[in-house]
């Protein structure tokens, strides 16, 4: 995709194909097979017990036969981009210079498509590595409006997936995220506010504040990602994008009255009254 010998600069090539310059120069650090096994198990435990911090996860891992300390578990959690999902000081991984916006959804009745969109990023294991999946979800219908698999947690990927959703589905009233550094970054905040959306951010580590995406992650991982040992990033991207398409079109949702997200999204769109 990127020709390092071409007369067009790498920066310009990255702009033309829609990826960040940082991604072009990024060299993934080698992760040992032992750490990959730990990360996979940490991810599984985090889905089942999101309130567990590094100490509790360490205890579970030791009981399962892993030899690991709390600090190493904490380092792997940071690398995976996950935190214990309960309220306590200092759990978010926002950039210290970034502004955090208030949570706007408490007590709000969400019943229309494009009323609230939620964004989040999660870790996806591969056979010999890992990638990150970012998605935009319509809160009312659970429809995945856009998603992207990337090798870094840069803010540009969050901007890309949000712009994709804007281009395909219009503009929501509110965009809700957690306090991750990719969502508190100036370029992401600007992308939201330039479209006239209100920006809402979860409380520190409050999983219920973005529960629709947390539930999506559990579904994606158990129904697709954990069933495959992806050899390459392209394999992971193709498989997960195929699943997202199937999820929207074919998977009935119990909270939607057994409708699929596509059906619920169309049904819940505000009706425009024609002038007589």
Bigger pLDDT: 164 or 269?
164
Q: Say which residue, 11 or 207, is predicted with more confidence.
A: 11
Q: What is the mean pLDDT of residues 185-200?
A: 95
Nearest to 144 by CA among 122, 125, 126: 122
The pLDDT of residue 47? 87
pLDDT of residue 192 exceeding 90, the answer is yes
Q: What CATH number has the domain spanning 116-267?
A: 3.30.420.10
The residue ranking higher by pLDDT, 125 or 5, is 125
Residue, of 275 and 228, whose pLDDT is higher = 228
| pLDDT value at residue 90 | 36
pLDDT tens-digit map of 201-247: 987 655 566 788 989 999 999 999 999 989 999 999 999 999 999 99
pLDDT digits 0-9 by tens, 92-108: 455 555 688 999 998 89
Domain assignments of the chain as residue spans, ordered by start? 10-80, 116-267
The mean pLDDT of the chain is 85
187-193: long-range pairs with CB below 8 Å, 24+: 187/155, 187/156, 187/159, 188/155, 188/158, 188/159, 188/162, 189/98, 189/99, 189/101, 191/159, 191/162, 191/163, 192/162
Q: Which two tokens stand for residue 76?
A: 């792997």
C-alpha to C-alpha distance for 24 and 14, rounded to whole angstroms: 7
Q: Is the pLDDT of residue 91 over 50?
A: no
pLDDT in tens, 17-58: 455 555 555 445 568 889 999 999 999 999 888 889 999 999
Q: What pLDDT sits at residue 17?
A: 47
Q: How many Å apart are CA 227 and CA 15, to the nearest integer?
A: 35
């Amino acid at each position: 995709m990127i020709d390092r010998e071409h007369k067009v600069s790498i920066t310009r090539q990255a702009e033309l194909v829609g990826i960040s310059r940082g991604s072009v120069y990024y060299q993934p650090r080698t992760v040992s097979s032992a750490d990959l096994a730990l990360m996979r198990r940490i991810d599984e435990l985090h889905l089942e017990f999101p309130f567990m911090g590094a100490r509790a996860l360490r205890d579970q891992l030791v009981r399962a036969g892993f030899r690991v300390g709390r600090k190493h578990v904490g380092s792997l959690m940071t690398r995976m981009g996950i935190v214990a999902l309960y309220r306590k000081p200092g759990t978010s991984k926002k950039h210290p210079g970034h502004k955090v916006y208030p949570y706007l959804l408490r007590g709000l009745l969400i019943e229309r498509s494009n009323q609230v969109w939620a964004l989040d990023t999660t870790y996806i294991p591969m056979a010999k590595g890992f990638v990150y999946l970012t998605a935009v979800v319509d809160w009312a219908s659970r429809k995945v409006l856009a998603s992207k698999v990337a090798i870094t947690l840069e803010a540009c990927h969050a901007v890309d997936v949000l712009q994709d959703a804007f281009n395909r589905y219009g503009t929501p009233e509110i965009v809700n995220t957690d306090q991750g550094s990719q969502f508190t970054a100036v370029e992401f905040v600007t992308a939201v506010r330039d479209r006239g959306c209100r920006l809402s951010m979860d409380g520190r580590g409050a999983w219920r504040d973005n529960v629709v995406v947390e539930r999506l992650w559990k579904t994606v991982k158990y129904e697709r990602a954990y069933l495959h040992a992806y050899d390459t990033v392209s394999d992971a991207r193709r498989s997960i994008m195929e699943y997202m398409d199937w999820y929207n079109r074919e998977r009935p949702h119990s909270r939607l009255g057994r409708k699929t997200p596509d059906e619920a999204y169309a049904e819940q769109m505000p009706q425009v009254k024609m002038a007589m």
